[in-house]
């Protein structure tokens, strides 16, 4: 049976998707897109995302998903940094990012569909393509199908941040046949997606994120049914599982929390017996939440751990989660995980250090335009994402802390250094520190401590109002404290550990 993608009342067969992608390739080629070119995708979960990604891949081009929450300043940085040859953007998002798109870069505008309009309460007048802009569908209708042999596969360039706060594009080498087989092995191991298996799934997370991106593109290429959920809603997901007899899901722990918060009558209302394989990642999952989900959905809950740079490296099942509460998994057969101290020496079972890992066979990567920073994350052929943890005697990995300052809120990586670099310029601010504090629903929430200038009188709303034009809404701290002076280390750096400690002491977690 031919695969299918569904979004709201719209449907697109897999055959139609690939046919449209072939026309996209011809159109992109006419715009000057070729091997190693980049195409910026400022899109929500929509058919056009898949059409553009697959169409660009036929030419050997890289798709570059851009977080659609971004301001013009943030989106423009990525569009310029990757050297985008074209930008594909939803109509309602164009006014937000237009100022950040360099002149002479072609812009293709996708009409915002009704289901996305409804999910995000977009004013109807913002959904059509504005006069004078190139309509994606009309442009596509004018193209013929690309018939030349596909170029070697380039996987999407996914932007991730580091301690500098500036996003870095993870750019992989073109995939060889062996690398494609290795990647397919990873996808089958951690996603349980194999061509011809008839996987039926709902895409619950935004496809600009690394893991949902890989999962969604794999499912659209090899699955039987892909349902796009414009915006996660707990009860709606249960409805979709029952209606479409969904077999597979990719989720984050915040979704589990929201599902468990539904009234018992709602949870019991839907038939979820079709579910066979549910996998989650992106943030720590409390053992109690994992146990409740297994009790409700059965032993179908699985977890993996890795990074944008490494791919999924460790994995475990429901049975292992109950036997080893708190683990993120054990290395895959073709993976290596080691715990190293500050000098690069390997540590033994139970000893805490930095997590280094490698998945054999997948194409090597660099940070686009930042080869020196790529070298900084490698030791002896292993890559670190900056996480701290330990391996137990059975080689199961446990994370004690995450990237030293990174905050994971609802499965989204947020980098305080980026926020601090904006906040420090606010009127009346002498210095600042941003970090994560416990949050029952999202795992972590952003907290900012502000050291004010002498005589300055600031409120939390003053700070939030200043940040809004520069940062996406999810990067605006919800909790803001003001101090005449912040604790500092001997070097003069703010002692964040002292600020964080009171919030985390009750959890027993390393900070």
**Residue 65 in 3-state DSSP?**
strand
Q: Measuring CA to CA, which residue among 120, 59, 58, 50 is closest to residue 88?
A: 50
Mean pLDDT, each 10-residue run in order, the chain (511 residues): 88 96 98 96 97 97 95 95 97 97 97 97 97 98 95 90 70 85 86 91 93 93 92 96 97 89 95 98 82 97 94 96 94 95 94 92 89 91 90 93 74 82 88 90 92 92 96 94 83 76 70 45
Residue where one domain finishes, among candidates 136, 154, 172: 154
DSSP H or E run through 55: helix 47-58
**N- to C-terminal Cα separation, the chain:** 51
Half-sphere exposure of residue 241, counting CA atoms within 13 Å on the CB side?
A: 23
- Cβ-Cβ contacts under 8 Å for 165 (sequence gap 6 or more): 415, 416, 417, 418, 419, 420, 421
pTM metric for this prediction = 0.85
In a domain, 482, yes or no: yes
What confidence score (pLDDT) does residue 73 get? 94
Q: Which domain holds residue 78?
A: 1-154
How many domains, in total, are found in the chain?
2
Q: Find out whether 244 and 271 touch, Cβ atoms under 8 Å.
A: no
What confidence score (pLDDT) does residue 161 get? 64
What count of other Cβ atoms lies within 10 Å of the Cβ of residue 233? 15
Q: Is 83 left (phi over 0), alpha (psi -120 to 50) or beta?
A: left
CATH number (domain holding residue 455): 3.30.300.30
Q: Is 380 left (phi over 0), alpha (psi -120 to 50) or beta?
A: left
In a domain, 294, yes or no: no
What confidence score (pLDDT) does residue 510 get? 46
DSSP H or E run through 322: helix 318-323
What confidence score (pLDDT) does residue 434 get? 92
List alpha helices for 191-261, DSSP H: 210-222, 234-244, 253-260
Report in angstroms the alpha-carbon separations of 395 from 186, 326, 327, 354.
19, 14, 10, 15
Q: What is the DSSP string of 251-281?
A: E-HHHHHHHHTS-HHHHTTS--TT--EEEE-
CATH number (domain holding residue 1): 3.40.50.980
In a domain, 51, yes or no: yes
Residue where one domain finishes, among candidates 154, 173, 204: 154
In a domain, 92, yes or no: yes
In a domain, 245, yes or no: no
Residue where one domain finishes, among candidates 116, 131, 154: 154
DSSP H or E run through 407: strand 407-409
In a domain, 390, yes or no: no
In a domain, 237, yes or no: no
In a domain, 329, yes or no: no
């Amino acid at each position: 049976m031919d695969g299918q993608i569904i979004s709201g009342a719209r449907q697109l067969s897999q055959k139609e998707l690939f046919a449209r992608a072939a026309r996209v390739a011809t159109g992109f080629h006419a715009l000057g897109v070729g091997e190693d070119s980049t195409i910026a995708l400022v899109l929500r979960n929509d058919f056009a995302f898949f059409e553009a990604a697959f169409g660009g891949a036929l030419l050997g081009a890289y798709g570059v998903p851009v977080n659609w929450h971004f301001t013009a300043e943030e989106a423009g940085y990525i569009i310029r940094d990757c050297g985008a040859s074209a930008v594909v953007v939803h109509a309602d998002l164009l006014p937000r990012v237009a100022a950040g798109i360099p002149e002479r870069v072609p812009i293709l505008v996708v009409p915002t569909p009704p289901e996305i309009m409804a999910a995000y309460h977009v004013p109807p007048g913002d959904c059509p393509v504005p006069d004078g802009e190139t309509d994606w569908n009309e442009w596509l209708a004018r193209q013929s199908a690309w018939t030349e042999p596909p170029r070697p596969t380039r996987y999407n360039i996914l932007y991730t941040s580091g301690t500098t706060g500036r996003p870095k594009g993870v750019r992989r080498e073109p995939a060889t046949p062996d690398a494609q087989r290795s990647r397919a092995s990873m996808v089958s191991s951690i996603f349980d997606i194999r061509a011809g298996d008839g996987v039926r799934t709902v895409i619950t997370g935004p496809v600009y994120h690394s893991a949902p991106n890989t999962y969604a593109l794999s499912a659209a290429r090899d699955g039987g049914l892909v349902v796009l959920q414009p915006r996660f809603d707990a009860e709606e997901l249960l409805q979709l599982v029952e209606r479409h007899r969904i077999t597979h899901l990719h989720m984050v722990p915040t979704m589990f929390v929201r599902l468990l918060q539904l009234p018992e009558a709602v949870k019991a209302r839907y038939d979820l017996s079709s579910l066979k394989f549910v996998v989650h990642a992106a943030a720590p999952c409390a053992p109690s939440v994992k146990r409740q989900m297994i009790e409700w959905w059965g032993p179908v809950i699985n977890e993996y751990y890795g990074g944008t740079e490494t791919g999924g490296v460790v994995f475990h099942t429901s049975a292992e989660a109950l036997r080893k509460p708190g683990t993120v998994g054990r290395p895959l057969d073709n993976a290596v995980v080691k715990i190293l101290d500050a000098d690069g020496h390997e540590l033994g079972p139970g000893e805490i250090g930095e997590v280094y890992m490698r998945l054999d066979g997948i194409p090597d990567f660099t940070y686009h335009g930042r080869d020196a920073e790529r070298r900084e994350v490698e030791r002896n052929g292993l890559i670190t994402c900056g996480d701290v943890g330990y391996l137990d005697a059975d080689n199961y990995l446990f994370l004690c802390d995450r990237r030293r300052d990174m905050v994971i809120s609802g499965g989204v990586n947020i980098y305080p250094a980026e926020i601090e670099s904006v906040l420090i310029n606010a009127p009346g601010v002498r210095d600042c520190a941003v970090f994560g504090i416990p949050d029952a629903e999202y795992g972590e929430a952003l907290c900012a401590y502000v050291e004010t200038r002498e005589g300055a009188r600031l409120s939390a709303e003053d700070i939030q109002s200043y940040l809004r034009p520069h940062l996406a809404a999810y990067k605006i701290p919800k909790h803001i404290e003001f101090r005449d002076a912040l604790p500092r280390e001997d070097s003069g750096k703010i002692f964040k550990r002292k600020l964080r400690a009171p919030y985390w002491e009750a959890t027993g977690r390393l900070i």
